[in-house]
Structure 1
Amino acid sequence: MENQNRTPFAFGKRNYQIMLLGLAVMAIGFILMAMDSEPYGYGFLGLTLGPIVLMVGFIIQFFAIFAKPRKDV
């Protein structure tokens, strides 16, 4: 007996939207680190702000993976 309600995707639409948000935040973090004008990225952007934004992006990805998909969508 097959289950007709199964989707071919591992995650729901909401999960993929949160993942895209997380990827965008991570990209902003990498861009901030690259914009640092100090040599070897030893300024505020390269050592403080960029890594914090990048970590926020990884946390968003974590929640995107573990968020339960909605049943009504």
Structure 2
Amino acid sequence: MSKQQKTASSPKGLVFAKRNYQLFLLSIAVVAVGFMLMTGTSDIYSFTKITLAPLVVVAGFALGVVAILAKPKKSGDS
């Protein structure tokens, strides 16, 4: 296989590059934080549970989409 056909940023056998996996793990953590913000029994109608937590969860899912669609940088680019 020639050098042009190999992807420099993704090891053999992996679908995405290391950065994609890091972003995806970060998105999972952000979604988890959003769900933790929704938990609890005190004051169901607080700003945190009604507004902030859903926004954090949606931001986590958006980051997951970015992680999937982000193209890996080439090894020559800095």
**TM-score interval, normalised by the smaller of the two chains:** 0.7 to 0.9
Q: Select 1:34's aligned residue among 36, 39, 42.
A: 39
Ranges in structure 2 where 5+ consecutive residues have no aligned partner: none
Ranges in structure 1 where 5+ consecutive residues have no aligned partner: none
Q: Secondary structure at the match of 2:23?
A: helix
Q: Whose helix fraction is larger, Structure 1's or Structure 2's?
A: 1
How many residues align? The count is: 69
Aligned equivalents of 2:41 and 2:70: distance in 1? 34
Aligned equivalents of 1:36 and 1:55: distance in 2? 22
Distance 1:31 1:50, change over 3 A: same
- Divergent runs of 4+, >2 A: 2-7
Q: Give the alignment's TM-score, normalised by structure 2.
A: 0.75
